[in-house]
Amino acid sequence: MAMKKRVDDYTADCIPTGALRNARNKIEIEKELIMANIEQAKHNRDYFKSHSIYVINLLSSPGAGKTSILEATLKNLDTKCGVYVIECDLQTYTDSKLIKSLGVEWMQINTDNGGYLDAELVFEAICRMKIKRNSILFIENIGNLISPALFDLGESLRVIVSSVTEGEDKPLKFPYMYETANLCLINKTDLLPHIRTRLDILRKNIQTINSSILIMEISALTGENINEWCDFLLTKVKWTL
């Protein structure tokens, strides 16, 4: 039988519960889930490639501005490609209603308390939506900086939205999310004069975690650099489709 810990054993100033608990109870189940997801993501990626579908996975903490960026992007993206959106939240159709009002085809996925979007759900959504060839698909992932980092969806571009209101330290606190992203959109730059976040420190922290990540500073509210972001997307799409 394992020895019970004594009060004196707890001397450290940090308790690494994630590592301990994962090791004891959850790691086998998580490994299975993640291995299955890797396979499905590979299948999705092959499907997207063979059907010329460019897929953008938008990730962030809740409220960083994913839906607002999507709205600004959909209004400014000058393309003849089909454009589709998958909206993912634990609950509600709120964001989908906005997408619908823009006349863009959409599908809502509600994960309830499951809390994460995986490659299989995305494949089911694209089959139901009957996405045409030569299309762009935006996926608004759930607002969470932890579990979505573990789930490859087969996307072409993984975008982390970092709001300046979150402070400079989030890349260091949630490194997996930043490590796995291709591009970081630093959003809400219009608020910089009113808060203490330093853009240079935020940029440095992002690059500490991921030295090859692209960074763009935008404001979904004022439209700052939204055209540059749309131009960037169209260049990527042109190369892929």
Ligand X SMILES: Nc1nc2c(ncn2[C@@H]2O[C@H](COP(=O)(O)OP(=O)(O)O)[C@@H](O)[C@H]2O)c(=O)[nH]1
Of the candidates 112, 114, 148, the residue with the CA atom closest to the CA atom of residue 37: 148
Q: What's the order of all strands across the beta sheet hosting 53-60?
A: 105-110, 82-89, 135-143, 53-60, 157-163, 183-187, 214-217
Closest contact distance (angstroms) between CB of 225 and ligand X is: 10
CA dihedral 176, 178, 183, 189 (to 10 degrees): 150
Closest contact distance (angstroms) between CB of 173 and Mg ion is: 21
Of the candidates 96, 116, 95, the residue with the CA atom closest to the CA atom of residue 106: 96
What character string, x for contact with ligand X (CB under 6 A) and - otherwise, covers 82-121? ----------------------------------------
The residue (of 65 and 148) whose beta carbon lies closer to ligand X is 65
Closest contact distance (angstroms) between CB of 224 and ligand X is: 8
The residue (of 40 and 163) whose beta carbon lies closer to ligand X is 163
Closest contact distance (angstroms) between CB of 75 and ligand X is: 14
Which chain residues interact with Mg ion by CB under 5 A? 66-67, 95
Please tell me the chain's helix, strand, coil percentages from 3-state DSSP, rounded to the nearest 5: 50, 20, 30
Q: Which residues bind ligand X (CB under 6 A)?
A: 60, 62-68, 143, 187-188, 190-191, 219-221
